[in-house]
Homo-oligomer: A and B are copies of this chain.
Amino acid sequence: MMKAAVLGATGAVGQIFIQLLSGHPWFEVSVVAASERSTGLKYSEAAKWRLPTSIPENISNLEVVDIEPKAVRNVEDVDVVFSALPSEVAGKAEESFAEAGYFVVSNASAHRMDPDVPMLNPEVNCDHVSLIDEQRRRRKWSGAIVTNPNCSTTVLTLSMKPIYDDFGIEKMIVSTMQAISGAGYPGVASLDIVDNIIPFIKDEEEKMQIETLKIFGSPSKPADFKISASCHRVPTLDGHMEAVFIQTKHEADPESVVAAMEKFVGEPQKLKLPTAPANPIVVKHSEDRPQTRLDRMEGGGMSVVVGRVRKDSVLKGVKYIVLGHNTIRGAAGCGVLNAEYLKAKKYI
Interface, chain A (partner B; CB < 8 A): 12, 50-52, 171-173, 175, 177, 180-181, 185-200, 226-228, 230, 232, 234-237, 241, 243, 245, 287-297, 307-308, 312-315, 319, 321
Min distance, Cβ A295 to any Cβ of chain B, angstroms:
7
Min distance, Cβ A253 to any Cβ of chain B, angstroms:
16
Min distance, Cβ A59 to any Cβ of chain B, angstroms:
18
Report the bound CA distance from A181 to B235 in whole Å: 16
Residues of B within 8 A of A196 (CB): 236, 291-294
Residues of B within 8 A of A234 (CB): 177, 197, 234-235
Residue of B nearest to A200 (CB): B288
Known: A191-B187, A196-B236. A243 touches B308 (CB 8 A): no
Residues of B within 8 A of A293 (CB): 52, 194-196, 237
Min distance, Cβ A207 to any Cβ of chain B, angstroms:
15
Residues of B within 8 A of A186 (CB): 186, 189, 191-192
Min distance, Cβ A212 to any Cβ of chain B, angstroms:
12
Known: A199-B321, A290-B199. A232 touches B180 (CB 8 A): no
In the bound complex, do residue B190 and residue A232 qualify as a contact, i.e. CB atoms below 8 Å apart?
A: no
In the bound complex, do residue A193 and residue B195 qualify as a contact, i.e. CB atoms below 8 Å apart?
A: no
Min distance, Cβ A227 to any Cβ of chain B, angstroms:
7
Min distance, Cβ A290 to any Cβ of chain B, angstroms:
7
In the bound complex, do residue A52 and residue B175 qualify as a contact, i.e. CB atoms below 8 Å apart?
A: no
In the bound complex, do residue A232 and residue B52 qualify as a contact, i.e. CB atoms below 8 Å apart?
A: no
In the bound complex, do residue B243 and residue A171 qualify as a contact, i.e. CB atoms below 8 Å apart?
A: no
Residues of B within 8 A of A307 (CB): 199
Query: Residue A245 contacts which of B173, B188, B237 (CB distance < 8 angstroms)?
Result: B173
Min distance, Cβ A201 to any Cβ of chain B, angstroms:
9
Residues of B within 8 A of A245 (CB): 173, 228, 230
In the bound complex, do residue B195 and residue A185 qualify as a contact, i.e. CB atoms below 8 Å apart?
A: no
Min distance, Cβ A223 to any Cβ of chain B, angstroms:
14
Known: A173-B245, A321-B230. A197 touches B314 (CB 8 A): no
Closest A-B pairs by Cβ, 8 of them: A175-B175, A186-B189, A200-B288, A230-B243, A228-B314, A196-B293, A199-B321, A190-B190
